[in-house]
Amino acid sequence: MKQYPVAPEGWPFISLALVISIILLMIKPWLAVFGLIPFIFFCFFFRNPARNGPESPHELLSPADGRVMSVTRLDHVEDLDGPAVCITIFLSLFNVHINRAPISGKVYTRRYRPGKYLPAFKSHASELNERNTIGIDAGNRKVLVNQITGFIARRIVCDVTPGDTVRQRARFGMIRFGSCTELICPADVQIKVQVGDKVRAGQTVMAAFPESVSSGPVVTEP
């Protein structure tokens, strides 16, 4: 996918704000500020910075920018055929909202589930809110990413479908205006982050598979 400095999903908002600014400018110059402020905000919110680097096949990179809200062990996840670890990332309005693939592989599942629009920082929001799930098969390893809406976020964008191949760090979607993203990986990974850490999509190492395990934080129980 072609890299744009501003995500295409933001173009309609930016264009509308620009048109309003021009109209207000023609009425009275000082009124243009009421269109310029949202124009600047939309350019900032929909920013799409490049996240480049070498592939790390034994590491899982963050699928989103934000702050780690929780690291939780799950007894069984059907899509992973066993126990797992769920790392939950909260995205504020000021974070980049592009979702990126944590590892290279083939998309083997995609599921949409309607739901509520509770604030994303609430502990039960991930269970009740609208969500989209994709699964990536990286050979002998599978991981899941959940895109979850929040109180302000009302639109999930997902660019991939089952059968598509994704590359680590590549964009696969976004969530508009504040949200939550979950990375669910097999229980035998070594977690590299802890609650409160700030993470960046396609840059922060969230977990490592056994081939490259080294010391790191211990997973917290729910």
Residues acting as catalytic residues: 179
- Virtual CA dihedral for 19, 22, 27, 33, nearest 10 degrees? 100
Q: In the block, which residue shows the tokens 């490259």?
A: 212
**What number of H helices and E strands is found in the chain?**
3, 14
Query: How many angstroms separate the most distant Cα atoms in the chain?
Result: 65
Q: Cite the DSSP H helix spans in the chain.
A: 11-27, 33-45, 125-128
Q: What span, in angstroms and rounded, lies between the C-alpha atoms of 202 and 205?
A: 8
Q: What span, in angstroms and rounded, lies between the C-alpha atoms of 178 and 186?
A: 27
Tokens of 119: 């604030």
Q: What span, in angstroms and rounded, lies between the C-alpha atoms of 176 and 150?
A: 9
Q: What's the sign of the alpha-carbon dihedral 82, 187, 107, 194?
A: positive
Please give the single-letter amino acid code of residue 74: L
Beta bridge partners of residue 29, listed in sequence order: none
